[in-house]
Structure 1
Amino acid sequence: MSQAPAELLRALFATAVEAAQPDHIIPPHMPVPPKGRLVVIGAGKASAAMARALEDHWPHHATCPLNGLVVTRYGYAVPCRHIEIIEAAHPVPDAAGIAAAARIRALVSDLSADDLVLCLISGGGSALLAAPLEGLTLDDKQAVNRALLASGASISEMNCVRRHLSALKGGRLAAACHPARVLTLAISDVPGDDPLDIASGPTVADPTTCADALAILRRYRIEVPAAVREVLESGRGESVKPGDPRLAGTETRLIAAPQRSLEAAAEVARAAGYTPLLLGDALEGEARDVGKVMAGIARSVVQHGQPLAAPCVLLSGGETTVTVRGKGRGGRNVEFLLALGVALDGLARVHAVAGDTDGVDGAEEIAGALIGPDSLARARARGIDPRAALDANDGHGFFEALGDQLITGPTLTNVNDFRAILIEG
């Protein structure tokens, strides 16, 4: 245990990210070359890195050349030789995403049963693959996305609404590829790893309905443009359902998920002399509430040696939500971490890191932050009230003032949030 707590926490986060790097996880899933054409498409924060890994490891360039197009977040492009990379906006879609989606749709419009579509999907693809249904506009999609992001809805609920407003999500992209076969390689960033929720399932049948989407809007009191409501109330937004023959030739492989990243971090913690405890890879709920619960577990470890004795590391993943109440610079990971710190109130021996494995927490180009027993005292010495910062949803402002932000830049992958609470012995 020679490493300082903050140094080890940073190493745990880096290990979690490295375990999901496309260069490691793409090669075992190379498809057999088809009789006809191979078309590569994709969307998500990791899609460009997935495309490059495919190019670097594809052994059939001479007999089965690669070509196609993927769309990724601004700043996440990597150079590829054969597959075109387009950047677009996330988490709120823009015109570049709409143009990219149209081009992807055109690429798969004239395929045969001998062709294979290799679809590279990762988190963020829902906003990046923006294709409004007929009658809807980019402004409509942006309004709905912004409202959903601020509502406190879970990622599954948000994606249910998105699927029923899209011309490509909810299995519609796979249907457009018919009669070609479709192999989707997916990196999961969602609790439970349901392919339907990864990028809103563009190649996966969708059992949910327009009525389900309307119920979500009512539950969170979300006002939407009239055109959006018409699409849902009329049923025009119904997605491709299980059993649809156009999806008979589709296969989805989950090639990376939060659990594997947690397990990789656990190995590093164990080697450093800390007993790891994995609390789950699919934790959801309000970020500040999850922070309070985790603080209670950490306090029990310190005071009672339960559920395990220190030195230990509590590891968890998933995707919390934030109901925006204030006007600060927030994100779900820094909100979790600030709530954890407020609940612990300087409890000795407890340190933590929380960050999004894609390198972006909320709308900030910051992965997350770190906190320690002295963080609240240092904030108060600077005239910062931690509880007021939490009330204002100002986690990024709080940790920036302390110099405790976790800044990675684009990680080129995305297996959702990573949280580690380290308790010294």
Structure 2
Amino acid sequence: MPRQDPDSFLRRLFDIAVEVADPMAVIPRVLPEKPKGRVVVIGAGKASARMAEAVESVWGPCEGLVITRYGYGRPCEGIEIVEAAHPVPDEAGLVATSRMLHRLQGLGEGDFVLALISGGASALLVQPAGDITLAEKQAVNAALLASGAPIDKMNTLRKHLSRVKGGQLAAAAYPADMLSLMISDVPGDDMAFIGSGPTVGDATTSADARAIIEKWKIEIPASVDAVLSVETGVVGVGDERLSKIDNRVIAAPSQSLAAAVKEAAAAGCEVRLLGDDIEGEARDVAAEHAKAALSARGSRPVLLLSGGELTVTRRGNGVGGPNAEYALALAEALDGAEGIYAIACDTDGVDGAAEVAGAVVTPRTLARARDLGVDPAEALARNDAHTFFARLEDQVVPGPTLTNVNDFRAILVLPNA
């Protein structure tokens, strides 16, 4: 049996999952010896500034430019850190991306580029294709986030509307050598979709991007239609300009879940891993997991663990995110079942667009809400899970975690009394 109370135990598991993916712990183990000659460090993502800080802890001051989310900057001696908006891009990201591409111009044989890529790079690397304006890019991105489309589909469209994603960042550095270190926040750790694959070749086409627009009913301006009417600048897998790039995933959701498994097993739990790459509508997955939790009750504590990246189709005008919505839907499905507790958080500390990682659920969640005059069903219908859990003071707010290995979900089922 866990020695801590259930809430503290689940929060400890989340903290362990984050700690394992801390770039300061990971980078020193994987970073090669600093090459001789000119070295340029570039990067983007919610973990990228921490990755840059870790690089300089090993290599010393470096030349370079990294773009991260507002509030996620870290002190570096040589690498410039620029903060910009996420999940909807802004002017700061646009200007910084242009400057990054300028730094890569003129690099040649013998030069070396270290790219630091993590989740969030899709919004932070901003260089629209064709005549697409920043405002139009922002509108399409916001529509994507509200559509319920899975992350791989979002990133496919983003690639074809960009001058930097889908291998184009690596192509800009050719013929310099490049090593790209990635922290994965995508199901299956497909490097082509981490940050929309700025250093990875891609096999999708403009027609694939257009099909996504049609399926998820994304409204697009004429400039986007014009870009997708021909093949875009996305770099194919076998392109010569990618021949000098070495892409490596250095931290992944599976590693964080494995650390939580070890901790939970040591505490006496039977651990059942539901998957580290689960996708789907948050409320639908929550209903499935509630059934699994209810059927897991027995003579010993059971922990159900899962990762991946869930989505939310916007139905109302509330404030929420996939993890909070999962938690609220889970609470509804469990309906106050005794002995079942849960936590659902994004490891980057941001669930949706809110500065909240997620929430915890207890057998008293629904009863406490009703005592406060809060209707759980109404909150779920309005996608207002963050407001719901804020009223209960059951949000998890760790602040910037400086890493990003996707969602972390744990359900603790205590033994029958």
Report the TM-score, using the length of structure 2 for normalisation: 0.98
Corresponding residue for residue 409 of structure 1: 399
What is aligned with 1:22? Answer: 23
Choose the corresponding residue for 2:275, options 280, 285, 294: 280
Residue-by-residue CA offset, 1:364-397 (whole Å, 9 max, x unaligned): 1001010100110110111111111111101001
Distance 1:33 1:111 in 2: 17
What letter matches 1:56 in structure 2?
A: S
Judge conservation of contact 2:62–2:77 (CA < 8 Å) in 1: no
1:36 maps to what in 2?
37
Aligned pairs for 1:373-388 within 5 A = 373-388=363-378
Q: How does 1:315-326 map to 2 (within 5 A)?
A: 315-326=305-316
Hey, what's the Cα distance between the residues in 2 that align with 1:310 and 1:340?
22
Q: CA deviation at 1:2?
A: 2.1
C-alpha displacement of 1:310: 3.5
Q: Confirm or deny: 8 A CA contact 2:163 2:233 kept in the other structure.
A: no
Report the 3-state secondary structure (helix = DSSP H, G, I; strand = E; otherwise coil) of the residue aligned with 2:305: strand
Equivalent residue, structure 1, for 2:324? 334
For 1:283, what is the secondary structure of its paired residue? strand
The answer on 1:354 being equivalent to 2:344 is: yes
8 Å contact from structure 1 (residues 116, 182) kept in 2: yes
Runs of 4+, deviation exceeding 6 Å: none
Distance 2:102 2:324 in 1: 40
Question: Residue 182 of structure 2 aligns with which residue?
Answer: 186
Match among 260, 269, 286 for residue 264 of structure 2: 269
Within the alignment, does 1:391 sit opposite 2:387 as a pair?
Answer: no
User: Partner residue of 1:369?
Assistant: 359
1-structure distance, mates of 2:94, 2:300 = 51
Q: CA deviation at 1:234?
A: 2.5
SS at match of 2:115: strand
What secondary structure, in the 3-state scheme, does the structure 2 residue paired with 1:334 have?
Answer: helix
Deviation at 1:266, TM superposition (A): 1.0
Maintained 8 Å contact 1:209/1:238: no
Aligned to 1:81: 77
Equivalent in 97, 102, 115 of residue 119 of structure 1? 115
Instruction: State the partner residue of 1:311.
Output: 301
Q: Check whether the contact 1:269–1:313 (CA below 8 A) recurs between aligned residues.
A: yes
Structure 1 letter corresponding to 2:167: G
Deviation at 1:287, TM superposition (A): 0.3
8 Å CA contact retained: 1:160, 1:213 = yes
Query: Aligned pair 1:224/2:220, yes or no?
Result: yes
Aligned equivalent of 1:110, options 101, 106, 110: 106
Say if 2:192 is the partner of 1:196: yes
Whole-Å Cα distance in 2 between the matches of residues 399 and 327 of structure 1? 16
Aligned residues: 414
CA distance in 2 between counterparts of 1:2 and 1:161 reads 47
Amino acid at match of 2:221: P
Q: Tell me, in whole angstroms, the C-alpha distance in 1 between the residues paired with 2:354 and 2:227.
A: 32
**Alpha-carbon RMSD:** 1.0
Quote the offset at 1:33 in angstroms.
3.1
- Would the aligned equivalents of 2:168 and 2:233 in 1 still touch at CA under 8 Å? no
Partner of 1:289: 284
Residue pair 1:210, 1:238 contacting (<8 A) in 2 also: no
Matched, 1:97 2:93: yes
Q: State the Cα distance separating 1:36 from its structure 2 match.
A: 2.4
